[in-house]
Structures are given as structure tokens and as C-alpha cells.
Amino acid sequence: MKLDQAKKDYYRRIAKKEGYRSRATFKLIQIDKKYHIFKKKQIVVDFGCAPGGWLQYISRAIGNEGFALGIDLKRVEPIGSNVEILVADVNDESIKDKIMSKLRKKADVVTSDLSPNVSGIWELDVAKQIDLTSKVVEILPFILKEGGHAIMKVFQGAPFSEFLKKIKKNFKDVIIIKPPASRPESSEMYLLCREFIFQSSKDTT
């Protein structure tokens, strides 16, 4: 068996054992174990949340006095009393208003694990993924508090460096992470963006 497949099977097995809906959950857990982003009572917005593995972890980490809003094209089975799901497209023009109407104040943390349906055409998939994630970045000034953090998946490819340059202007520091649970063969990386610097959305483009 290839190492890649063995790794997939390993995380699938422990996800099942620990009751997580996705093996992707371990990528977030590994990031959080090292950088301690999630805390009790936080407000979190999670983009591309289905089937809900990240939200299961976030829900526990923020506790009953916290609130998490998940957004996905797909429906998600209920997670807990501190989690609400918005079935919506991030490309929807009214997405930021829909999100803001659900939050009592701006989020402490925004996460994004957005992935398009991969076509296998490398350049196209990278462009689509960066495009989706750019939508999240566009609305950050409306939904993330000053000093808040973001964790975002990105596919590495030609548009990545331009994207990184842009995101670095919006945060005090940005760390590129390849969590052990992410397959080495996969082009995905995670950006841990700490301490959001508020600028109007026009300045961030």
C-alpha cells in the first residue's frame, strides 16, 4: 500500500473512532494544538464546513457560551446548540449580509477549508480554489474583528504568491502550515493569519 493511502486510512480510522465526521478535522486539530487559536466563548465563522468535522472540534473548543456559524453549499447534520449552519454559496452577492445577520458581533476567528469540485486540470483547480478563498478575504473586514485570526486552506500554484502578498497586508503575521494530517502529495497548505488589521474592503484589494 502506498504511504499516501496508508495515511488516509489511518486518519479515517481515528476520525471514526473519535466520532469526527471527516479526517480533515485532524488538520485543524494539529494546527490548534500548536498555535492555540480556539478559546472558550469565541465567535467563529467556518467556510466550506460540510460534513462538519471542523465544526465539531470548534464547537467543543469554544464551549456553550461560544457560537460558530458554518457555511456550505451542502446541508450539514446538526452539530450542537452553539452551532448554526447557513446553506449558501460564498459567491452569493448577499453572503456578507446573510452572515452578519447571524452574528451578534464580529467573529474572533474565521476558518476556511473551501475546495471546489476538483476537475483534475491542475491550473484550473488552483485558480478556482484561490478564487473561492479570495471571496472570504474580501468580506473579512465585515465579519472579523480587529486583532482576530483566520485559518485558510489554499492550493499552491501560480496565483498563490499574489494571494499571499495580499493577505499579508491584512494581518500582523501569516504562517504557512502543512499539517501532518495533510497528504504530502496534496498541494494544499494552510495559512494561519494572526491579528487582523482592519482596513476598509476597498484597501484590501
Ligand X SMILES: C[S@@+](CC[C@H](N)C(=O)[O-])C[C@H]1O[C@@H](n2cnc3c(N)ncnc32)[C@H](O)[C@@H]1O
C-alpha closest to that of 78 among 63, 101, 56, 100: 56
Decide if 26 contacts 181 (C-beta within 8 A).
yes
Distance between CA atoms of residues 172 and 146, nearest Å? 11
Q: Is 168 a catalytic residue?
A: no
Given a contact cutoff of 8 angstroms between Cβ atoms, the answer to whether 84 and 49 are in contact is no
- What is the per-residue burial (b if ≥16 Cβ within 10 Å, else e) of 47-58? bbbbbbbbbbbb
Q: Interface with ligand X by CB under 6 A: which range of 34-42, 46-54, 137-145, 197-205?
A: 46-54
10 Å CB burial of residue 26 (0-12, 13-18, 19+) is buried
Out of 24, 31, 58, 79, the residue judged to bind ligand X by CB under 6 A: 24
30 or 199: CB nearest ligand X: 30
53 binds ligand X (CB under 6 A): yes
- Closest separation in Å from C-beta 87 to ligand X: 9
Residue closer to ligand X, measured from CB, 116 or 157: 116
The minimum distance between CB 128 and ligand X, in angstroms, equals: 9
Binder among 7, 22, 37, 170 for ligand X (CB under 6 A)? 22
Contact region with ligand X (CB under 6 A), list: 11-19, 42-50, 78-86, 171-179: 42-50
User: Is there binding between residue 25 and ligand X (CB under 6 A)?
Assistant: yes
Among 13, 16, 34, 74, binds ligand X (CB under 6 A): 74
- In a 3-state reduction of DSSP, which class is residue 14? helix
Cα–Cα separations (whole angstroms), residue 105 to 38, 43, 68, 99, 108: 17, 8, 12, 11, 9
The single residue of 7, 106, 128, 153 carrying the catalytic annotation is 153
The correct pick among 5, 91, 161, 186 for binding ligand X (CB under 6 A) is: 91
Nearest approach, Cβ of residue 196 and ligand X (Å) = 21
Q: Does 70 bind ligand X (CB under 6 A)?
A: no
32 binds ligand X (CB under 6 A): no
Q: How many CA atoms lie within 13 A of 108 on its CB side?
A: 15
What is the CB neighbour count within 10 angstroms for residue 118?
13
Half-sphere exposure of 117 (CA within 13 A, CB side): 2
Active site residues per annotation = 153
Name the residues that contact ligand X, by CB under 6 A.
Answer: 21-22, 24-25, 48-54, 71-74, 89-91, 113-116, 132
